[in-house]
Amino acid sequence: MKSVIHIITPIITEGIRSLDDVQPFLRQDMEVRHSLIGTGPASIECSVDEALSIPGILEQAVVAERDGASALIIDCMGDPGLEACRELVSIPVLGPAQTCMHYASMLGHHFAFITVLDRLKPMIDGLVARYGLQANYAGFGAVDIPVLEIEQRLDELVEQLVAASLRSVETARAGAIILGCTGFFGCAQAIAERLAAAGYAVPVLDPIPLTLHAADALVKTGLSHSKYIYPAPRRKPLAGYALPGAYDTV
């Protein structure tokens, strides 16, 4: 069975995500597609940004399923629109935060979540609680580098991620590190190597590769989310948004 995984990057900024990023993971039985949203924020760094991104995510989810995708990934560690997408479509929809948190709890029991800005702590704490993993949460860290500056400050980013990860391991006994921004793609190996050199063989989870393989596993095993728990919305008039097949646009 071929997996067709569609990655929705829920911002309008070109170039932050490319299919070149996932090229090393592709196989003959797995295809990856990608789209941005048409309207919404340039990056997601607060609850307002997240809320503004969700209509575009929902629209892209409906279109991707219609065009033959077999699973969806929401390319943001806030998991915006995750539960709403599961109501709209029948194919698996994965949020990288939920995926990473559950895998990290398996691999290291206690995990630390290291992201871009300290202001995101309430959002991440809320996700941990929603996913029922408070007992596995070793703590939160931030590098104080905005999403749109990551590429220009990559060396500084890695150093700060290493420092924050070391603090989490040494002071909170974190057994796994979650890179809490999908824009940190490709940094995991360097951080894991630095932790190992300091005497800590701790897994460092890079969200997009892990979530990609998790989505592929669901497709290959014929599993998706429960439509009993995530039932389709009742049809009713809808103005200002395009969700063909789900609502009656007026």
Q: Please tell me whether residue 93 adopts helix, strand or coil conformation.
A: strand
For the chain, the structural domain boundaries read 3-95+209-249, 97-207
Q: Which fold has domain 3-95+209-249?
A: Rossmann fold (3.40.50)
pLDDT at 248 over 90: no
Q: Phi-psi region for residue 199, left (φ > 0), alpha (ψ -120 to 50) or beta? A: left
**How far, in Å, are 30, 61, 65, 236, 249 from residue 6 at the CA level?**
11, 9, 9, 28, 25
219 and 32 Cβ atoms separated by less than 8 Å: no
The pTM score is: 0.94
Task: Please name the fold of domain 97-207.
Answer: Rossmann fold (3.40.50)
Q: Helix, strand, or coil here: 1?
A: coil
What are the residue ranges of helices labelled H in the chain?
Answer: 47-66, 82-88, 96-108, 121-130, 154-172, 188-197, 207-221
pLDDT at 14: 92
pLDDT for 125-174, tens place per residue? Answer: 999 999 999 999 999 999 999 999 998 999 999 999 999 999 999 999 99
* Band of residue 16 on the pLDDT scale cut at 50, 70, 90: confident
Q: Tell me the pLDDT of the chain averaged across its residues.
A: 95
